[in-house]
């Protein structure tokens, strides 16, 4: 009977891919949403991560255990505990939702397990709630939007109307933009936060924006809401120019927005049309493997793996040494030069201002401005 049980346990372990752990040097816990609203992002980040370790010929050096956070904070926390306590992973990679990141923060900080954040942009995670164990390779909400303030004023746009979904990320993105825009001399003449996940008709808000006296609209929307918003903006005749946070016209779903997205200008930390040798090689190889253009999410997964491999190459092997090595990493990513800021553990990177333009039957991204090496202020973070 006992023997039977251990056979079952072995079989179960094998089916989870744990048997490989005996040979792998590093065990990675991928903590991402694989179901629910953000499943597409979880899959894209996973593809980017796996692509990086395969490209480096080091797939065998990593044992990967995946868990689904469902983008829900309690589920994410339970899965993080499971990965850390049961699977004894050396490093956690993932987290799409800022809510999940907030729920995990105290646990990973207390358990002293390094977490490489591959999406969640919550400013607090590398601000007042920063931790020596949390390193972010994706972006912060403020980092992506701040550069648009000065840029819009430089384009001669003095009055804007803002829109975003009514939740933490929406508020942070718009606040960062508003602050920078006001500092540069622009005026936000009005704005609203729309009920998150409940708004399917943006017509009333677009009509409000049209009568507000603004010269342009600045918005943050992502995923399904971004598609609905841009299409409805198009159907109302594009009366005001539309600017936004770059997730609005992400290459992951800009195809679904179609012609309505043409002319929309937004800021983001990566676009697949960047003209650098690193990016061209990356895009070609990614397309050859997955038959699609990489998005910013693919690159975030890719850079999470690159950052981890760079830390391991510098001699790190266990949780403590990986956590210590991560903030010292810098290299040439497809998105341009990246480094981790030891003052906040947030990535320092270029922000690209790009316009979505028609390219034959499809759409492509034309970079119209680059703000180099954007670095967040510590904002209460006391790592140094």
Partner 1 sequence: MDAGFWVLQLLNATQFSMLLFLLSVGLTVIFGLLHFVNLAHGALYMLGAYVGISVAASSGSFWAAFILAPIAVTAIGAVLYVTLIDRLRGAGPMNQVLVTFGLIFVFLDVVRLLWGDVALSLTAPKSLSGAAEILGVSYPAYRLFIIGLGAVVMASLWLVLSRTQIGAMIRASVENEAMAAALGINVGRLFFSVFCLGCALAGLAGVAAAPIVSATTGMGISILIPTLIVVVIGGLGSLQGAILGSFIVGFIETFGAVLLPGFAAVLIYVLLAAVLVLRPEGLLPARG
Binding site for partner 1 (CB under 8 A): 35-37, 39-40, 43, 166, 192-195, 197-198, 200-201, 203-205, 207-208, 210-211, 223-225, 227-228, 231-232, 235-237, 252-253, 256-258
Q: What's the CA gap between 159 and 164, in Å, rounded?
A: 17
Q: Measured from the CB of residue 200, what is the shortest distance to partner 1 in angstroms? A: 5
Calpha distance 356→24 (Å, rounded): 43
CB of 35 to partner 1, least distance (A): 8
The least distance separating partner 1 from the CB of residue 320, rounded to whole angstroms, comes to 36
The tokens describing 234, both together, are 């198009």
Q: Least Å distance between CB 109 and partner 1?
A: 31
b/e sequence 259-296, b meaning 16+ C-beta within 10 Å: ebbbebbbbbbbbbbbeeeebeebbeebeeeeeebbbb
Least distance CB 206 / partner 1 (angstroms): 9
Task: Between 96 and 142, name the residue whose CB sits nearer to partner 1.
Answer: 96
Among residues 326, 379, 275, which one has the least CA distance to residue 91? 326
Which pairing describes strands 134-136 and 115-117: parallel, antiparallel, or unpaired? parallel
Q: How many Cα atoms within 13 Å fall on the side-chain side of residue 34?
A: 8
Residue closer to partner 1 (CB basis): 195 or 277: 195
3-class DSSP assignment, residue 306 = helix
Instruction: Write down the H helix ranges in 168-222.
Output: 168-183, 203-210
CB of 39 to partner 1, least distance (A): 4
Rounded to 5 degrees, φ, ψ at 321 are: -75, -30
Smallest separation (angstroms) from partner 1 to the CB of 77: 22
CB of 255 to partner 1, least distance (A): 9
Residue placing its CB nearer to partner 1 in the complex, 156 or 237: 237
Nearest to 249 by CA among 240, 261, 231: 261
C-beta of 63 vs 206, nearer to partner 1 = 206
Alpha-carbon distance 273 to 354, whole Å? 10
Toward partner 1, which CB reaches closer, 20 or 210? Answer: 210
- Nearest approach, Cβ of 166 to partner 1 (angstroms)? 8
Structure tokens at 124: 């607090």
Measured from the CB atom, the residue of 210 and 337 that comes closer to partner 1 is 210
Hey, what are 273's tokens?
A: 């049309």
- Cβ proximity to partner 1, 19 vs 235, nearer residue: 235
Nearer to partner 1, 197 or 342 (CB): 197
SS3 at position 333: strand
Residue closer to partner 1 (CB basis): 107 or 167:
167
State the DSSP string of 112-138: T--EEESS---GGGGTTT--TTEEESS
């Amino acid at each position: 009977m006992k023997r039977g049980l251990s056979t079952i346990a072995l079989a179960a372990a094998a089916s989870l891919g744990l048997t490989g752990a005996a040979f792998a040097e590093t065990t990675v816990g991928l903590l991402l949403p694989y179901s629910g609203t953000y499943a597409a992002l979880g899959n894209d980040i996973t593809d980017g991560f796996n692509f990086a370790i395969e490209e480096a010929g080091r797939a065998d050096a990593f044992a990967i255990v995946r868990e689904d956070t469902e983008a829900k904070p309690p589920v994410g926390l339970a899965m993080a505990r499971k990965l850390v306590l049961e699977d004894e992973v050396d490093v956690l990679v993932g987290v799409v939702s800022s809510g999940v990141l907030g729920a995990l923060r105290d646990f990973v900080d207390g358990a002293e397990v390094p977490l490489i954040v591959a999406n969640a942009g919550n400013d607090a995670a590398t601000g007042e709630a920063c931790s020596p164990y949390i390193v972010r390779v994706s972006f912060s909400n403020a980092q992506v939007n701040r550069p648009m303030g000065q840029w819009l004023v430089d384009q001669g746009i003095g009055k804007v109307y803002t829109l975003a979904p009514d939740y933490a990320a929406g508020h942070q993105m718009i606040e960062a933009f508003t602050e920078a825009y006001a500092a540069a001399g622009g005026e936000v003449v009005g704005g609203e936060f729309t009920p998150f996940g409940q708004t399917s008709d943006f017509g009333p808000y677009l009509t409000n924006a049209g009568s507000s006296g603004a010269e342009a609209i600045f918005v943050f929307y992502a995923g399904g809401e971004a598609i609905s918003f841009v299409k409805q903006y198009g159907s109302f005749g594009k009366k005001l120019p539309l600017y936004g946070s770059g997730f609005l016209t992400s290459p992951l779903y800009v195809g679904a927005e179609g012609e309505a997205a043409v002319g929309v200008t937004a800021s983001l930390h990566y676009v697949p049309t960047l003209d650098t040798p690193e990016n061209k090689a990356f895009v070609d190889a990614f397309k050859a493997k997955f038959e699609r253009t990489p998005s910013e999410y693919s690159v975030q997964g890719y850079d999470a793996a690159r950052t981890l491999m760079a830390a391991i190459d510098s001699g790190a092997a266990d949780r403590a040494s990986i956590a210590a090595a991560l903030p010292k990493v810098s290299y040439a990513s497809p998105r341009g030069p990246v480094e981790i800021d030891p003052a906040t553990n947030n990535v320092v990177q270029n922000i690209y201002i790009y316009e979505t333009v028609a390219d034959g039957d499809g759409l492509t991204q034309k970079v119209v401005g680059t703000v180099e090496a954007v670095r967040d202020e510590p904002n209460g973070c006391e790592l140094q």
